[in-house]
């Protein structure tokens, strides 16, 4: 069976071109069967399909014959045959038993915040195979949580860590190795050993941010990646896609980005932590004039949402807002020089 790589040209990471945009729109998780393997597809037809953006079986399988015929400039009978082949060969996924799902859930690990009240709120810690969103106003402590979890992740499993490597996508230039050093010392760890396991990349724009997930996929093969942090998930998207007219496009890209992140987490039995801002809009339900940005796309993608607030005396409040299996609730903790503490 042919294994084809769909990306032919490697690109400089920080350039944002329309070509790159095309890539972002059409790129899919790795495939093991290429479109050349479809019945009735020779090199010329394959080229037509690729030019029309159909470089992957699932994209073809979901088309109607008339649509595919029109978009790829094929005869309808040919299109119909190609679609039928794609439906058979595409990895559509399927139903699995509850028992199989339970087996998968048993692989879930928990990363401790090393703060009892936070771990309790989360039923023992931050779960792998999940996407956790931490949102709150500026200065509420989102980046502090990212730093702390990065440090904790290097701890052995017996001490609440995941004994794993960390990828940190920094969009706001707020990653501070000095802060990691303080927090590592706070846990009695060797700061250099901790820093050597945290792999940081600055994302210059949203397209670059998206490409960095590919880079994580590539680099993670020989590693024990257990935590992927995107701090902040939404700032570039917000800055670049301004106004109603851009909203649909923004949400589409964000959705795709989140799916890629989640998939990378699942493959590695890792946790994804993303931070998010709030926009000020009075909200009767929470009695707090803030709500996370990112809309439904992000709301649906996050397995857990934690809302951070500052409280009196330098304390912080974390509220668990959305969880598939835990009650909503709140906890109080502190940010100290050594890191997060009860
Ligand atoms: P934005 O990214 O601006 O939206 O904010 P954020 O939510 O990421 O806030 P961040 O995590 O950067 O929190 C900053 C706050 O953490 C500071 O205002 C301090 O209150 C606290 N903090 C950071 N470092 C230290 C430290 O070394 N000691 C103490 N006590 N507090 C710290
Ligand atoms: Mg921050």
The domain limits of the chain are 15-94, 109-341
Which residue is closest in CA terms to ligand 1's atom 26? 337
Q: What is the pLDDT of residue 108?
A: 95
pLDDT digits (tens, 9 = 90+) for 301-328: 899 999 999 998 889 999 998 788 888 8
If pLDDT is split at 50, 70 and 90, which confidence band does 261 have? very high
CA nearest to 272, candidates 220, 331, 318, 226: 226
Q: Which of 113, 142, 144, 309 for a ligand 1 pocket mutation test, highest count of atoms within 8 Å of Cβ?
A: 144
Which residue is closest in CA terms to ligand 1's atom 10? 141
Task: Give me the chain's average pLDDT, please.
Answer: 86
Average confidence (pLDDT) over 50-54: 84
Give the CATH superfamily of 109-341: P-loop containing nucleotide triphosphate hydrolases (3.40.50.300)
- Is 319 within 8 Å of 330 (Cβ atoms)? yes
pLDDT at 289 over 60: no
pLDDT at 280 over 70: no
Q: What is the pLDDT of residue 102?
A: 86
More confident residue, 287 or 22: 287
Average confidence (pLDDT) over 123-143: 95
pLDDT digits (tens, 9 = 90+) for 111-125: 999 999 999 999 999
> 88 by DSSP, 3-state: which?
helix
Structural fold of domain 15-94: DNA polymerase; domain 1 (1.10.150)
- Give CA angle at 180 (191, 235), nearest 5°: 150
Tell which atom from ligand 1 comes closest to the C-alpha of 310: 20
Tell which atom from ligand 1 comes closest to the C-alpha of 145: 11
pLDDT digits (tens, 9 = 90+) for 200-232: 999 999 999 999 999 999 998 889 999 999 999
339 lines ligand 1 (CB under 6 A): no
**Ligand 2 center from residue 138 Cα (angstroms):** 7
- Is 48 within 8 Å of 72 (Cβ atoms)? yes
Q: Closest-lying ligand to the alpha carbon of 231?
A: 2
């Amino acid at each position: 069976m042919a294994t084809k790589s769909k990306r032919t040209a490697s690109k400089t990471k920080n350039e944002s071109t329309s070509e790159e945009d095309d890539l972002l729109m059409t790129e899919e998780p790795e495939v093991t069967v290429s479109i050349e393997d479809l019945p009735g597809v020779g090199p010329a037809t394959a080229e037509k399909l690729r030019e029309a953006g159909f470089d992957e079986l699932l994209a073809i399988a979901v088309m109607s014959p008339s649509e595919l015929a029109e978009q790829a400039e094929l005869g309808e009978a040919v299109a119909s045959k190609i679609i039928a082949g794609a439906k058979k060969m595409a990895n559509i996924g399927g139903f699995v038993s509850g028992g199989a799902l339970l087996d998968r859930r048993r692989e879930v690990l928990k990363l401790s915040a090393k703060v009892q009240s936070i771990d309790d709120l989360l039923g023992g810690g931050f779960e792998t195979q999940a996407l956790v969103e931490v949102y709150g106003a500026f200065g509420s402590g989102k980046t502090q949580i990212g730093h702390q979890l990065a440090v904790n992740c290097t701890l052995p499993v017996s001490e609440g860590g995941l004994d794993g490597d960390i990828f940190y996508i920094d969009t706001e230039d707020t990653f501070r190795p000095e802060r990691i050093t303080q927090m590592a010392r706070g846990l009695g760890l060797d700061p250099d050993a901790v820093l050597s396991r945290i792999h940081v990349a600055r994302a210059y724009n949203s397209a670059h941010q998206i490409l960095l997930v590919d880079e994580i996929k590539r680099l993670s093969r020989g590693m024990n990646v257990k935590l992927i942090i995107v701090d902040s998930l939404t700032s570039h998207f917000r800055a670049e896609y301004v106004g109603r007219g851009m909203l649909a496009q923004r949400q589409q890209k964000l959705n795709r980005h989140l799916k890629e992140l989640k998939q990378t987490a699942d493959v590695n039995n890792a946790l994804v932590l993303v931070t998010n801002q709030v926009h000020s809009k009075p909200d009767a339900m929470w009695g707090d004039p803030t709500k996370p940005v990112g809309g439904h796309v992000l709301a649906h993608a996050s397995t857990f949402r934690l809302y951070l607030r500052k409280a009196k005396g330098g304390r912080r409040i974390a509220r668990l807002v959305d969880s598939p299996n835990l009650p909503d609730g709140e906890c109080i903790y502190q940010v100290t020089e050594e890191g997060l503490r009860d």
